[in-house]
């Protein structure tokens, strides 16, 4: 690495009530390092997997979480709010007692697959550079255009009128608050989210997540390496090329890497003989790769 500062990925079990930025600030304070960022924002109400990149790992945020996310969402039928969750103001009520489990199952089934979803107006999405939630709080009329999202599966875990709990497997960009709101609309009684847990984010699972208190304890005990995941895990899904000393010298000095026997791919993780990440590589001319981001600075001997 280019310095001795901590570098890696933290799988944090975000507590309710904190924004994702709040978690980043806590991690900065605990570790005494400014270079910290997160991947995959969670609302303050939500808990569960929040991936926090530390040090050089912040340069890998764009690669960290491809694939599907899994959420457990609890919601209440019969009450709508302006934020689509329990943090908002009530905008409508209805009697949900006639809704059966079959009714709910049928409504849920309509949202599986590729769908058009309208994000909540109280969201971090931006219009002309201004977050929608800020415009909404100013009383301005806000319209969030629909966008395509993919929902792979929705399973009904529990239903006891007016409360329900579902498991949602979905792609990036899906708003579970909007999904719950839309389910309520289909049922004709409204609904709002009351609890949300991100169980998995790509390869990262809540069973392996740590609390902020556990992180603080590990840092205090000098055991940070036990909870800080290496850079290589962030790019484990990418095609990997083991680099020779000559290829490493080329990559870390910004030169093209000769790779005549490597099948081209849009993005490649170049690693050394120990599996440590050297560079992110992209195709250049035929049989050559060029370094996009470099993570080692020590030139190996010939």
User: Could you read off the pLDDT of 181-203 as tens digits, one per residue?
Assistant: 999 999 999 999 999 999 999 98
**Residues annotated catalytic, as ranges:** 43
Residue 17's pLDDT band (boundaries 50, 70, 90)? Answer: very high
- Cα(172)–Cα(164) distance, integer angstroms: 23
Let me know if residue 158 belongs to a domain.
yes
Would you say 273 and 266 are in contact if contact means Cβ atoms under 8 Å apart? Answer: no
> Which residue matches tokens 């849920």?
108
Would you say 271 and 295 are in contact if contact means Cβ atoms under 8 Å apart? Answer: no
Residues 6+ apart with CB under 8 A from 92: 79, 80, 190
Would you say 23 and 197 are in contact if contact means Cβ atoms under 8 Å apart? Answer: no
Residue 135's pLDDT band (boundaries 50, 70, 90)? Answer: very low
Let me know if residue 37 belongs to a domain.
yes
Q: How many CA atoms lie within 13 A of 129 on its CB side?
A: 0
In sequence order, what E strands does 78-218 have? 79-81, 90-93, 113-117, 126-127, 130-131, 147-160, 163-170, 191-201, 204-205
pLDDT digits (tens, 9 = 90+) for 113-129: 999 998 887 655 555 55
Let me know whether 35 and 131 are in one domain.
Answer: no
Domain count, the chain: 3
CATH code: domain of residue 257: 2.30.130.10
Let me know whether 81 and 184 are in one domain.
Answer: yes
CATH code: domain of residue 214: 3.30.2350.10
């Amino acid at each position: 690495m280019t310095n001795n500062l901590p570098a890696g990925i933290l799988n944090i079990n975000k507590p309710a009530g904190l924004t994702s930025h709040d978690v980043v600030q806590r991690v900065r304070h605990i570790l005494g390092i400014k270079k910290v960022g997160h991947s995959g924002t969670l609302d303050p109400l939500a808990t569960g997997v929040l991936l926090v990149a530390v040090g050089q790992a912040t340069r890998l945020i764009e690669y960290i979480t491809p694939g599907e996310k899994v959420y457990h969402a609890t919601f209440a039928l019969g009450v709508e709010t302006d934020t689509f969750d329990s943090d908002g103001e009530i905008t409508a009520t209805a009697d949900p007692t006639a809704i059966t489990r079959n009714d709910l199952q049928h409504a849920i089934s309509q949202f599986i697959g590729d769908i058009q979803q309208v994000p909540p107006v109280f969201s971090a999405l931006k219009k002309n550079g201004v977050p929608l939630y800020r415009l909404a709080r100013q009383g301005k009329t806000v319209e969030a255009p629909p966008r395509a999202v993919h929902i792979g599966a929705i399973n009904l875990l529990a239903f006891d009128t007016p409360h329900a709990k579902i498991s949602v497997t979905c792609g990036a960009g899906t708003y579970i608050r909007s999904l719950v709101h839309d389910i309520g609309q289909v049922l004709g009684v409204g609904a709002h989210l009351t609890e949300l847990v991100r169980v998995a984010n790509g390869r990262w699972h809540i069973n392996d997540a740590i609390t902020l208190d556990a992180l603080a304890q590990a840092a205090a005990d000098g055991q940070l390496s036990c909870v800080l995941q290496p850079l290589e895990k962030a790019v484990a899904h990418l095609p990997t090329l083991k680099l020779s000393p000559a290829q490493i010298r080329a990559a870390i000095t910004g030169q093209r890497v000769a790779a005549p026997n490597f099948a081209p791919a849009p993005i490649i993780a170049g690693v050394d003989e120990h599996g440590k990440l050297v560079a992110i590589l992209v195709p250049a001319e035929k049989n050559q790769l060029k370094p996009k981001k470099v993570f080692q600075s020590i030139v190996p001997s010939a």
